[in-house]
C-alpha cells in the first residue's frame, strides 16, 4: 500500500503489477475452471479507488513523477473496473465477479506505507482505536 517505486521483472510499476495485473492474468487463466461450477471472483479494492490519478496512458509512470498513493489508488480502481467488466461478460458462462473493500483491518501494512503522514496516522490510529 503506497510503497516506494519498484518495478517487476517486466519493467511494470510494482503496485499495478502486483495489485492488478497479476490477479487479472490469474483470473483469466482460471475462468475455464470457474465456469465448470458456480464460479465467483472477489477482487480486493479500497476506498481510495476514487482518489484522482488513474492515467490509462501512463499506468507505468513513465511520463509523470511517481506518486505512491496515486499508484496504489490506480491499482485499486483498475481492480474495480475489471470486476465490473468481468461480471458483465462472465455471467454468460456462470461466473460472477464483485469487489470488496476489506475495511480498516488491523495490519502492519499501513505502518510501512509512504505518503501523507496525517492519512497514515489516521489509518494506523483508527485501527488501534476501533
What residues does 99 pair with on adjacent strands?
43
Distance CA 61, CA 35 (A): 36
Distance CA 72, CA 24 (A): 16
Distance CA 19, CA 122 (A): 23
Look-up of cell digits 496516522: 121
- 72 noted as active-site residue: yes
Catalytic residue chosen out of the listed positions 12, 21, 69, 72: 72
Question: Which residues participate in catalysis according to the annotation?
Answer: 72
Amino acid at each position: 500500500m503506497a510503497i516506494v517505486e519498484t518495478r517487476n521483472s517486466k519493467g511494470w510499476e510494482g503496485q499495478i503489477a502486483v495489485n492488478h495485473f497479476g490477479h487479472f492474468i490469474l483470473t483469466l487463466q482460471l475462468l475455464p475452471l470457474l465456469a465448470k461450477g458456480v464460479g465467483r471472483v472477489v477482487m480486493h479494492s479500497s476506498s481510495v479507488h476514487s482518489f484522482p490519478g488513474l492515467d490509462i496512458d501512463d499506468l507505468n509512470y513513465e511520463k509523470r513523477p511517481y506518486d505512491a498513493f496515486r499508484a496504489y489508488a490506480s491499482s485499486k480502481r483498475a481492480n474495480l473496473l475489471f470486476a465490473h467488466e468481468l461480471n458483465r461478460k462472465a455471467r454468460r458462462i456462470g461466473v460472477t465477479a464483485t469487489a470488496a473493500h476489506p475495511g480498516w483491518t488491523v495490519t502492519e501494512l499501513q505502518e510501512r506505507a509512504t505518503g501523507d503522514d496525517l492519512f497514515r496516522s489516521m489509518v494506523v490510529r483508527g485501527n488501534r482505536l476501533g
